[in-house]
Amino acid sequence: MTAELVRGQNHPLPQVRLEIRISAGVPVLAGATLGDENGTVHGPQRVAHPGAPTLPGVEVPRQAATEHRLAMDLSAVPEAVHRVGVFLALPTGTTGPLRFGAVPAPRTAVHGPDGTEIARYTVSGLETEAALIALELYRRQGAWKIRAMGQGYAGGLPALLADQGLPEADTLAAAIHGTTNPGPTAAYGHDTHRANGTHRANDAVRNPYDTPAPENAPALDTPAPADAPTLGGPIDYSHPRRPRHTAPPSPTPSACPTSDGQPAPSVAGDAVGWSMEERLYNQVWGMFEDLARTTAAYRGAVDFADTRLEKELDQALADPRARLGEGNAAVREAAQIRRDQLAGQARAALDRDLAQLTAESEVVEPALPPAYARWDSPAWHGYRVPTDPSMALRLGDLHLPESLPLRIPLLVRLPLEHGLWIDSGATAVPEGSFADSAALRQAAMETAVALAARLLAAHPAGELAVRVIDPAGAATRALWPLTGAGVLAAPPATGAAGVTEVLERLTRRVDLVQMAVRGGAAGSLPDDVDTARQLLIVNDFPHGFDDRAITRLRYLADEGPAVGVHLVLVADRADAAAYGPLLDPLWRSLMRLTPVPDEHLADPWVGHAWTYEPALVPVGSRIVEQVLGEVAAALIKHK
């Protein structure tokens, strides 16, 4: 079954010989970069492009076209290559579009050598970008995976190559553009060869999707005014694979209209995926994207209405004869009426979308498994320790001011690819929520404990070990659910000696596992190395940490996730100011959460500032203790 990816999602590759098919609405050039573990590309000799289309294990097309096929043999790439990035760029020096936001979203599909489709990804949400990394193929613990990237660059190919670490990116980008000319819409325009050397004639490329992407359309249901700005064409804010309410519905069961023409009731799990859990995950992300795009359409329409009102008023005032008298008042009133009509139409379209999303949320929320569900969900009352880890975890909820009270679950894939920073010094504290900073720090630690309980509940018994560093012993009360249930791998570490011991243990584990994996000897680890995934919670960071301890923690943040060591820091960013720039790389590598609602997260499609609300346990509820009791009982049986 084909996996349909969303931005940031990864997927295992069952084969190393691949064909990547790309379909775009306009001619684009395609290429690939070969990077090391950090994604750095060491020189132009590691870039496959139309002027140099063949590298070991990689072959790309020789000219710009609307459809491409790239051949990959990952077993043949150099051993030092750990990341292969597939990039697209709009040709320069043509009369065509200069940004991807003005053209249909590029589509990618990964096929095996027998033609079986493994994964597909539509690169949506683009605006001013002229070049992008569509996909990344990367090594992880001896196996290859693919990640949907969709990372765009408004600076075009020079900015993309510079971000890959190439020192003379401008020169190389100019050389690449100089070798390409938009050709016919065939797959190549020249005969090409697979990475293993076999010949393949230039043939037509099948659209890898069953249904075409929606056409670009104005954001509002009504036609755009004649003087609406159309720079490069209108932007389509609709989800690429979820039907718009104003367009003919796709023939999926949930989208088919009822007899009165209204959309059919929503269905939980109505998304692509190999399991109900994956379908629910993809459906939630689809709702997230829908809400981001429909809100962007509404805001854009209101901004246009306001801009047109100002323009009309300026034009009226420019005529000295119309500045005074009843004529001026009539012009102002007519302009305001037109503005209010446009804004009203936009709000009506938004309200229709919100009503459908709310109805979908009311169906999806009760169907979510425990790892995805709120703490007050009935799913937790029937909780049993799983036999397989969950594919994702709920960190909280997101909402926008226009969409209250609709909340979208914030789901992240497991295992965590980035550590988490829970801010104990949040500045946007609701009035009356906390009496002092000590109460806020307590709430931050309680949020970390609830998160640790959720992570333990999402893993089979013994597959996640939780460790705590509490240098001053200030978190004893907040840690009671974990310590009382006996689910910690060791008592909380306190004092300088405790900090050093835990960091040394985890650093040694990272080093040994990395060496074992690289040497193909994962079964020969020492008996004292805990092979379970490790979650380290650090309270009041950086108090109690010297420079050596901070260096080790940065190492764990950078290298740990790949070998099963994950961080949760409870910290006030202002407390770290004394360390200067030393901690800046650490903060940038972590995802910031807060114990109180705070507007600080941005979506990957249109960049709205979303209000994040933590996944709090209802006051008086003992559900966390109940869940941890099940985890503790399973741990006893496991031992």
359 and 483 inside one domain = no
Q: Which of 32, 1, 4 is nearest to 148 (CA)?
A: 4
| H-helix or E-strand spanning residue 149 | strand 143-153
> Does the structure show a pLDDT above 80 at 321?
no
The residue among 168, 200, 232 that closes a domain is 200
173 CB-contact burial (10 Å; exposed 0-12 / middle 13-18 / buried 19+): buried
In the structure encoding, which two tokens stand for residue 322, read together?
Answer: 């119309």
Mean pLDDT of the chain: 82
> In Å, how far from its chain's centre is CA 470?
31
Tell me the three-class secondary structure of 453-473, residue by residue.
HHHHHCCCCCCEEEEEECCCC
Q: Which of 18, 51, 17, 55 is nearest to 34 (CA)?
A: 55
336 and 482 inside one domain = no
- Give ∠ CA 164-166-172 in degrees, rounded to 5: 115
> In Å, how far from its chain's centre is CA 453?
24
- Average pLDDT on 335-340 reads 91
What pLDDT band is residue 426 in, cutting at 50, 70 and 90?
Answer: low
C-alpha distances out from residue 259 to 244, 248, 366, Å:
18, 14, 27
> Does the structure show a pLDDT above 90 at 408?
yes
pLDDT digits (tens, 9 = 90+) for 437-487: 788 899 999 999 999 999 999 999 999 999 999 999 999 999 999 999 999
Domain that holds residue 290: 215-368
Q: How far apart are CA 444 and CA 421, in angstroms?
A: 10
Domain assignment present for 210: no
- Average pLDDT on 45-67 reads 91
Residues 59/193, Cβ–Cβ less than 8 Å: yes
519 and 548 inside one domain = yes
Q: Which of 378, 371, 632 is nearest to 481 (CA)?
A: 632
| H-helix or E-strand spanning residue 58 | strand 58-59
Tokens 């594919």 belong to 391
573 and 495 inside one domain = yes
In the structure encoding, which two tokens stand for residue 489, read together?
Answer: 């791998």
Domain assignment present for 385: no
**Between 353 and 432, the higher pLDDT residue:** 353
Residue 212 carries which side chain, given as an amino acid letter?
Answer: P
Tell me the three-class secondary structure of 219-269, residue by residue.
CCCCCCCCCCCCCCCCCCCCCCCCCCCCCCCCCCCCCCECCCCCECCCCCC
**Between 261 and 39, the higher pLDDT residue:** 39
**Torsion sign (Cα): 504, 506, 512, 514:** negative
Residue 481 carries which side chain, given as an amino acid letter?
Answer: P
Q: Which of 143, 167, 149 is nearest to 46 (CA)?
A: 167
pLDDT digits (tens, 9 = 90+) for 537-577: 999 998 888 889 999 999 999 999 999 999 999 998 877 77
pLDDT value of residue 465: 96
What pLDDT band is residue 127 in, cutting at 50, 70 and 90?
Answer: confident
Number of folded domains that form the chain:
3
pLDDT value of residue 314: 81
- Which of 137-146, 166-175, 231-240, 394-403 is least confident? 231-240
Domain assignment present for 301: yes
pLDDT digits (tens, 9 = 90+) for 77-87: 999 999 999 99
The residue among 200, 224, 255 that closes a domain is 200
> Does the structure show a pLDDT above 70 at 114?
yes
Residues 218/234, Cβ–Cβ less than 8 Å: yes
Residue 438 carries which side chain, given as an amino acid letter?
Answer: A
Predicted structure pTM score: 0.61
Domain assignment present for 498: yes
Beta bridge partners of 469: 493, 538
In degrees rounded to 5, what are phi and psi of residue 33?
-115, 145
- Helix 623-638 crosses helix 437-457 at what angle (to 10 degrees)? 50
pLDDT digits (tens, 9 = 90+) for 579-606: 777 788 888 889 999 999 998 898 888 8
Domain assignment present for 459: yes
The residue among 368, 403, 427 that closes a domain is 368
Q: How far apart are CA 395 and CA 319, in angstroms?
A: 57
pLDDT value of residue 243: 43
pLDDT value of residue 555: 93
160 and 245 inside one domain = no
222 and 195 inside one domain = no
Q: How far apart are CA 19 and CA 29, in angstroms?
A: 16
Residues 279/267, Cβ–Cβ less than 8 Å: no
- Average pLDDT on 87-103 reads 79
Q: How far apart are CA 99 and CA 186, in angstroms?
A: 22
Q: How far apart are CA 556 and CA 24, in angstroms?
A: 41
Give, as one character, the DSSP assignment of residue 397. E
**Torsion sign (Cα): 32, 34, 40, 45:** negative
- Average pLDDT on 147-163 reads 91
pLDDT value of residue 18: 94
Q: How far apart are CA 630 and CA 638, in angstroms?
A: 12
Domain assignment present for 387: no
Domain assignment present for 462: yes
In degrees rounded to 5, what are phi and psi of residue 399?
-155, 160
Q: How far apart are CA 123 and CA 78, in angstroms?
A: 28
291 CB-contact burial (10 Å; exposed 0-12 / middle 13-18 / buried 19+): buried
228 and 349 inside one domain = yes
468 and 509 inside one domain = yes
312 and 433 inside one domain = no
Half-sphere exposure in the Cβ direction for 179 (13 Å, CA): 17
315 and 457 inside one domain = no
Length of the chain: 639
> Does the structure show a pLDDT above 60 at 216?
no
- Average pLDDT on 282-295 reads 91
> Does the structure show a pLDDT above 70 at 241?
no
Q: How far apart are CA 268 and CA 279, in angstroms?
A: 9
Half-sphere exposure in the Cβ direction for 471 (13 Å, CA): 18
Q: What is the CATH number of the domain that holds 130?
A: 2.60.60.30
Q: What is the CATH number of the domain that holds 547?
A: 3.40.50.300
134 and 195 inside one domain = yes
pLDDT value of residue 332: 82
pLDDT value of residue 257: 45
Beta bridge partners of 151: 133
180 and 282 inside one domain = no
- Rounded to 10 degrees, the C-alpha dihedral 425/410/624/453 comes to -80
